[in-house]
């Protein structure tokens, strides 16, 4: 398996893996209308072009046998969705095709995010995870994240609650 940075030429692959993994993950718990609205808006060519051009956002593909099987999106500085802290990195998305769940792909993408956070010398990493996604919550807790707040995520016309979690990286010695 290989991890590589996504560029503008990959936009159709990004759109495809983004829609597919999001739908696989959340379709069973959401209405078809809300899913359709979110997928069309969240993974539109225009939106992805803007995100790919943003110097404070990066996407990475996980590829296996030349096929994209998952991806990571991280945000820095003003591109973070909520906390605009220059000392933080946001993991906005880690998604893996269902057939590759349990094969450490998510962990490898997560490790890439932590590597980027350390390169940028940020103090902490944060993210939002849907309160009804126990698998993802356990994954982040296992990696040392703790819940610190909640925020609203709009999926189509449905307001959902995300648990905001954070992982401290550069603990300051307190004496």
Paired strand residues for 161: 152
The continuous run of DSSP H or E covering 165 comes out as strand 158-168
CB 100 within 8 A of CB 141: no
Active site residue 140: yes
Burial class (CB in 10 A: 0-12, 13-18, 19+), 85: middle
Q: Of 95, 110, 124, 140, which is the active-site residue? A: 140
Supply angle C-alpha 125, 130, 131, rounded to 5: 110
Structure tokens at 47: 């939106």
Give the residue numbers annotated as catalytic, written as ranges: 140
């Amino acid at each position: 398996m290989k991890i590589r940075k996504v560029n503008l030429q990959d936009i159709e692959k990004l759109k495809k893996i983004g829609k597919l993994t999001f739908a696989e993950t959340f379709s069973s718990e959401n209405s078809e209308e809300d899913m359709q609205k979110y997928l069309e808006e969240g993974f539109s060519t225009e939106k992805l072009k803007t995100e790919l051009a943003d110097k404070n956002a990066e996407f990475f593909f996980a590829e296996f046998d030349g096929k994209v099987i998952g991806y990571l999106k991280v945000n820095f500085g003003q591109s973070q969705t909520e906390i605009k802290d220059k000392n933080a990195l946001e993991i906005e998305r880690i998604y893996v095709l269902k057939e590759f769940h349990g094969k450490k792909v998510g962990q490898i993408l997560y490790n890439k995010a932590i590597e980027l956070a350390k390169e940028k010398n940020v103090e902490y990493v944060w993210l939002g995870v849907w309160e009804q996604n126990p698998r993802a919550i356990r994954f982040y807790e296992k990696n040392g994240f703790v819940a610190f707040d909640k925020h609203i995520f709009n999926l189509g016309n449905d307001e959902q609650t995300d648990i905001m979690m954070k992982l401290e990286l550069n603990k300051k010695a307190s004496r």
